Structure 1
Amino acid sequence: MSKVDQIPAQPGHDDGAADPVRESMRRLPGLFALPLTLLTGRPHAGQRPIAHTPAGHLRNAVQSVLAGLLVSAFALAEAGWALVLLLPGWAMTLHGARNLRMMIYHQCAHANMWGNRRADAALGRAIAALLMIQDFGRYSAEHVSDHHALHHMTRRDPTVQAFLLTLRLRPGMSRRRMWRRVLGRTVSPVFHLRFLTARIRSYFHAATPAARTATSAGLLLAAGLAGWLHLWTLLLVGWVFPMTVLYQISNTLRLCVKHTFPAPEQTVRRGREYFAGLTNGIFLGEPAPAPGLPPARRWAAWLRWWTRMLLVHFPARYLVLTGDTVVHDFHHRYPMSRNWADYLFAREEDHRRGSPGWPPYREVWGLVAAIDLVFDSLRAADPLEYDPDLLAEANHRQLFAAFDD
């Protein structure tokens, strides 16, 4: 584990200064500047913004899904050595699907994709049917009313409910125990089956009759074409597997870094100071080797750095913290920002200006460090507020006390 992954249990405050981790990477040639910004989620000081559009993000996500399916199709057709290409095929399919869910679908819920509520809702419904996730209408209502309002990080918040009811994490648990429980869930067939069943139920239960009919017809058509064209193997291996097991692993790890839990002594739970303190920027990477090292140590340091950037931080960015999830803190400050498509540079510009009207940004480097931070916040959270078992017991005692009166 790197020094970056061992960040203490409190995120750093971002006071508008250039970040030393990202600035250390400027020792590399300029052609690495944009790839490192996309990987880390953090532009370097003075970097020229790259314009993105909502349509461009949608196109890239769809192209990633299609490219992944094509690579998987080639791997299955060639078999033998080519089967190793299933790994990048799955990765591209998963990456595109997660961007559709975490970025496009999310912005549609805020009517912020194209600024046209009807068009955004139509796209959101199409993504929900494709990925078999919560019905768009219900998600949009819950997300705006319970996640972006006074119920943020309360028991009414769907994020909190997923932590407590799905992952069964509790205040007072050690960090090690929480890790064991989460990692155990990611490899549990029972968990994945329940997760998939819940996804299907959450879609069909709340969808309109017309949407249910259209989706059922689409699934039957896909099954019929797969049988007619002898593509069952591609459908199951190239699409169903990454969209169930891999998708749900990515979703679980992403859930574990979304928001920290408020401290028990934090009695004032409103205002910008409070809401800003529950979300952090999460950047991927670690400091580049220092200059002036002896040749042998320099080569070893750069080899280790490149290995970790490509095999640790890149997968975390590409498969878990996709799209604008690294700067989710910017979204919670400006949920209706029209600059969301340029999320990395929009957040950086606000940071450079000192985040006027808001407290300084908070950040953490590394996926493991970000998960540790959230786990530690839950460990210290009020059990009577966030432990369903203790809450039920307390309510039970109150009921009998009232009966005795």
Structure 2
Amino acid sequence: MGRLPRLFDRPLTLLTGRPLDGRHRTAYTPTRHLLNALASMTAGLAAGALALAAGGWWLLLVPAGWAMTLHSARNLRMMVYHQCAHLNMWGHKRHDVLLGRAIAALLMIQDFGRYSAEHVADHHALHHMTLRDPTVQAFLVSLGLRPGMSRRQMWRRMLGRTVSPLFHARFLTARIRSYFHAAAPAWRAGTLVALAAVAALATWLHLWLFVLVAWVVPMSVLYQVSNTFRLCVKHTFPAPDAPVRRGRDYFAGLTNAIFLGEAAPPPGLPAGHRLLAWARWWTRMLLVHFPARYLVLTGDTVVHDFHHRAPMSRDWANYLYAREDDHRLGHPGWPPYRHVWGLVAAIDLVFDSLRAADPAEYDPDRLAAVNHRELFSAFED
């Protein structure tokens, strides 16, 4: 892609997750990420409102509104809420906790206090990718995947879940339960009051269609589909013959970057072939890789490996360049970075690692003591 004009550098960096060089480093701040997410949500809801009010061809705006609302929600959850859990959003405990609790209430996800405790203790510790890790629990119970399954079987089961009404009903129910079960009494009461106020206004102003179409659809089914795909690329399972299950070499090997895109057509092609090659390239970049980046691998999830190496980095807001800088500096004290190109390839990598994993170690029967109704909240890790 380096052969493209320089004006494409910044858009391609944001799309692919891989900077061409460090000369156009971003200067994002945590607050800017938060405001961008809120602006996207506002635009998505506005597009939905306009489409429903105007009708006709304007209804084509509804999917665009869904996309913007979902993008906002996923950025709030996977980036802002996540950094709040590490008390690394603004580096101010009171402000980070307050924002985290507000996001949990808005998105109706696992209570912030419980999430932050589990995330740090079970996901960023020696229990990473063991049965104690919520990510592993979600694979074994919520998705029903097992070591030894073929890649095709895993794909079929995962895609089947994303179109299953029962799966989505259980997922949504578990999200609501995981929030209200653990939230502080004051936050539970405040959330119920807010929901009652929204319901009253929707009834009074005849806006229930808007609420259901513009908010409930992207925040339930679409959110959960995105979450499921994201789960399937987060971490690889350790090889059964890994000699030592600790240390930087081991933990770095469980996470890789996921870049999106593909090489631009080479120069020198005949005119007809060049036209077809560029048409194919633009089609795949816009209709395959862009949706994967915008709706699934949002925010800093493309370089989640950097977060596991530097979870308290104060440069997290400029995540793409922070990882690239560390890579170019030789990743001091850590093994080389790994990456894969494309969402499908990234899922295949994780599925292959689970297929080769130790079936005795990842035996779902060992999770019998866990309340399976709550395991859907593990998707929120």
TM-score bracket, normalised by the shorter chain, equals over 0.9
Instruction: Tell me, in whole angstroms, the C-alpha distance in 2 between the residues paired with 1:281 and 1:145.
Output: 23
Deviation >3 Å, runs of 4+: 389-392
Q: CA RMSD in A?
A: 0.9
Matches for 1:76-95 after TM superposition, within 5 Å: 76-95=52-71
| C-alpha distance in structure 2 between counterparts of 1:272 and 1:26, whole Å | 33
1:311 aligns with 2:287: yes
Matched, 1:62 2:38: yes
C-alpha deviation, 1:79, in angstroms = 1.0
In structure 2, distance between residues paired with 1:391 and 1:228: 47
In the alignment, residue 259 of structure 1 is paired with which amino acid? H
Aligned to 2:247: 271
**TM-score, with normalisation over the residues of structure 2?**
0.95
The corresponding residue for 1:27 is 3
What pairs with 1:199-278 in structure 2 (closer than 5 Å)?
199-278=175-254
In structure 1, the partner of 2:133 is 157
Q: Is the 8 A contact 1:171 1:383 kept in 2?
A: yes
Counterpart Cα distance in 2 of 1:155 and 1:121: 27
Matched, 1:119 2:95: yes
The one-letter code matched in structure 2 to 1:312 is: V
Deviation of 1:387 (Å): 2.1
Aligned 1:3-402 pairs, distance under 5 A: 25-389=1-365
1:27-81 Cα shifts (integer Å, max 9, x gaps): 1111111000000000003432011000000000000001000001111111111
> SS at 1:27's partner residue?
coil
- Is the contact between residue 65 and residue 92 of structure 1 (CA under 8 Å) also seen in structure 2? yes
By how many angstroms is 1:390 displaced?
A: 7.6
- Structure whose alpha-carbon radius of gyration is higher: 1
Distance 2:300 2:263 in 1: 22
Q: Which string of whole-angstrom CA distances, capped at 9 and with x for unpartnered residues, describes residues 337-381 of structure 1?
A: 000000000000000011011000000000000000000000000
Secondary structure at the residue paired with 1:291?
coil
Q: Distance in 1 between matches of 2:5 and 2:262?
A: 17
1:231 Cα deviation after fit? 1.0
Deviations 1:11-37 (A, max 9, x none): xxxxxxxxxxxxxx1211111110000
Contact 2:22/2:325, CA 8 A, preserved across alignment? no
Q: Residue 176 of structure 1 aligns to which amino acid in structure 2? A: R
* Percent identical: 76
Q: Which runs of 5+ in 2 are unaligned?
A: 369-381
Secondary structure of the equivalent of 2:340?
strand
**Contact 1:385 1:391 (C-alpha < 8 Å) held by counterparts:** no
Between the aligned partners of 1:319 and 1:380, the Cα distance in structure 2 is: 29
Distance 1:329 1:47 in 2: 22
Instruction: Give unmatched runs, 5+ long, in structure 1.
Output: 1-24, 393-405
Relative to 1, partners in 2 of residues 1:391 and 1:225: Cα closer, same or farther, differing over 3 Å?
closer
The 1-side partners of 2:50 and 2:366 are apart by: 53
Q: Is the 8 A contact 2:131 2:367 kept in 1?
A: no
Aligned partners of 1:80 and 1:389: how far apart in 2?
53
Q: Does the CA contact (< 8 Å) of 1:195 and 1:248 recur in 2?
A: yes
Query: Aligned letter for 1:300?
Result: L
Cα distance in structure 1, aligned partners of 2:64 and 2:212: 16
C-alpha offsets along residues 189-235 of structure 1, whole Å, 9 cap, x if unaligned? Answer: 00000000000000000011111100000100111111111111110
TM-score by length of 1: 0.90
CA offsets 1:102-130 (integer angstroms, 9 cap, x no match): 00000000000010111100000000000
Tell whether the 8 Å contact from 1:111 to 1:120 is kept in structure 2 after alignment.
yes
Q: Secondary structure of 2:360's partner?
A: helix
SS of aligned partner of 1:26: coil
CA distance in 2, matches of 1:226, 1:55: 31
How many corresponding residue pairs? 368
Distance 1:129 1:360 in 2: 39
Partner residue in 2 for 1:12: none
Q: State how far apart, in whole Å, the 2-side matches of 1:92 and 1:105 are.
A: 18
Q: CA deviation at 1:389?
A: 3.5
Distance 2:292 2:259 in 1: 10
- Partner Cα distance (1:109, 1:389) in 2: 30
| Structure 2 residue identity aligned to 1:247 | Y
1:287 partner letter: A
